[in-house]
Amino acid sequence: MQTQTLKHTDEIQGYDGMSNRALKGFQTLIFKVSGITMSDAKKSLIAGRLTKRLRALNLNSYDEYLHYLTKGEGTHSGEVENFTNLLTTNETYFYREPQHFAFLKKEILYKHNSDQAIRIWSAASSSGEEAYTLAMVLAEEFGANANWMVMGTDISTSMIKAAQQAIYSEQRVRMVPDDIRYKYLLKGTGEYNGYVSVVPEIKKHVHFEHYNLVESTLKTELFDVIFCRNVLIYFNQQTKKKVMERLCRQLKQGSYLMTGHSESLHGMLPELKSVSPSVYLKANQTNGLIS
C-alpha cells in the first residue's frame, strides 16, 4: 500500500509555516499541562521539536496536529504526553554549574553528621545528569554504602526512562574529573562505544519518578537540599512563586535550595534567605523575624 506523503513539507520544516492560531494553541496546552510559559520567541523551537510528531502521524500542518491534540484522537491516545516530552526536554550534562556542587560539599556536607541520613531532591532532573552528579558528590563525602539518597523528578516521562537507564555519551560526562569518572562510570564497548554507564553502587541510591512541580501531590518526606535549576525561567511570576512555595514546604528548617544562576527569588518568599549566588537557606522564623 502506498503511504500518503506530506503535502506541505515547507510548512513543517520551517516555523514560518506555523499559524498564529497553532502557536497560541500549543502555548495554552503546554501551560495547562506543565505550568510552563513559552513566549512567541520560542516559535522556532516549538516548530522544530514538533515536526517529528507531524511526520509520525502523517499530518499536513501544525493546525492539524493541534486539532489532533485537543479535539481528536490525541486527547486519549497518549499524544499529549509525547507533546509534553518534546517541549520540556533540555540538554544537560554532569557537573553543570559546578559552583553549586562546590558549595554543597564545603558548606553543607562538611557540616553534616555522617551518622544521619541525608536526602537531596533534583527537582527538574531531565535525563539524570544532575541527580547522578549529586550522588557522586555524596559518595565521595560519605562513601557508597552510607545512608544517603537522591530523588530525581521530571515532567517528561521519556527523560525519566533515560535517567533510569543511566547511559550517557562521552560528551555529557566531559566535566567529570578523571578520578571520579574512574570510580563511578563504566566505559562502553562494542555498540556502546563512546558511551558510559553509572556504576550500580551509585544507581542504588538514586530514585527517579515522574513529577509535575506545579500540581503533583507534595511528598511526605522533607529534604536537606533541593536543586531546582534552570526550570523557573520557563514559568511566569505567579507560577514561579507557587512552585517555590511548594518546594519550600518540602525543605527542613535550616536546609538549602539551589536555583539556576540566571534565576532570582529576590523578595519572593521571606523564609528563603540568600546566602550565596542562587543558593537560599530556609531560615528559622520567630515572631515574623528571620533568624
User: Residue 89 pLDDT more than 80?
Assistant: no
Contact 238, 133 (CB under 8 A): no
Task: Encode 82-101: b = buried (16+ Cβ within 10 Å), e = exposed.
Answer: bbbbbbbbeebbbbbbeebb
Same structural domain for residues 29 and 62? Answer: yes
Domain that includes residue 276, residue range: 99-290
pLDDT, tens only, 17-60: 899 999 999 999 999 989 999 999 989 989 999 998 999 999 99
| Residue 70, C-alpha cell as written in the block | 485537543
Which residue is listed with cell 543558593?
A: 279
Which residue is listed with cell 574512574?
A: 182
SS3 284: coil
| Residue 270, C-alpha cell as written in the block | 521571606
Same structural domain for residues 43 and 141? Answer: no
Same structural domain for residues 105 and 79? Answer: no
pLDDT bin (cut points 50, 70, 90) of residue 288 is very low
Same structural domain for residues 249 and 286? Answer: yes
Contact 159, 123 (CB under 8 A): no
Smallest Cα–Cα separation from 269: which of 261, 260, 257? Answer: 257
> Is residue 154 annotated as a catalytic residue, yes or no?
yes
pLDDT, tens only, 137-184: 999 999 999 999 999 999 999 999 999 999 999 999 999 999 999 999
Same structural domain for residues 145 and 282? Answer: yes
- What is the widest separation between alpha-carbon atoms in the chain? 75
Beta-carbon contacts of 73 under 8 Å, excluding residues fewer than 6 positions away, are: 79
| Residue 269, C-alpha cell as written in the block | 518568599
Same structural domain for residues 30 and 79? Answer: yes
What number of H helices and E strands is found in the chain?
Answer: 12, 12
Same structural domain for residues 105 and 76? Answer: no
Is position 62 within any domain?
A: yes
Domain endpoint, select from 36, 69, 88: 88
The per-residue DSSP string of 23-74 comes to HHHHHHHHHHHH-----GGGHHHHHHHHHHHHHHHT-SSHHHHHHHHHTSTH
pLDDT at 184: 97
Annotated catalytic residue, options 53, 96, 119, 154: 154
Domain count, the chain: 2
- Half-sphere CA count of 158, side-chain side, radius 13 A: 13
The per-residue DSSP string of 239-282 comes to HHHHHHHHHHHTEEEEEEEEE-TT---TTT-TTEEEEETTEEEE
How high is the mean pLDDT of the chain? 89
SS3 226: strand
| Residue 237, C-alpha cell as written in the block | 511570576
Range 91-96 average pLDDT = 91
pLDDT at 244: 96
Same structural domain for residues 165 and 253? Answer: yes
**DSSP code, position 190:** G
pLDDT bin (cut points 50, 70, 90) of residue 245 is very high
Same structural domain for residues 128 and 213? Answer: yes
User: Residue 227 pLDDT more than 90?
Assistant: yes
Same structural domain for residues 119 and 59? Answer: no
User: What's the CATH number where 62 sits?
Assistant: 1.10.155.10
Is position 1 within any domain?
A: no
Same structural domain for residues 82 and 106? Answer: no
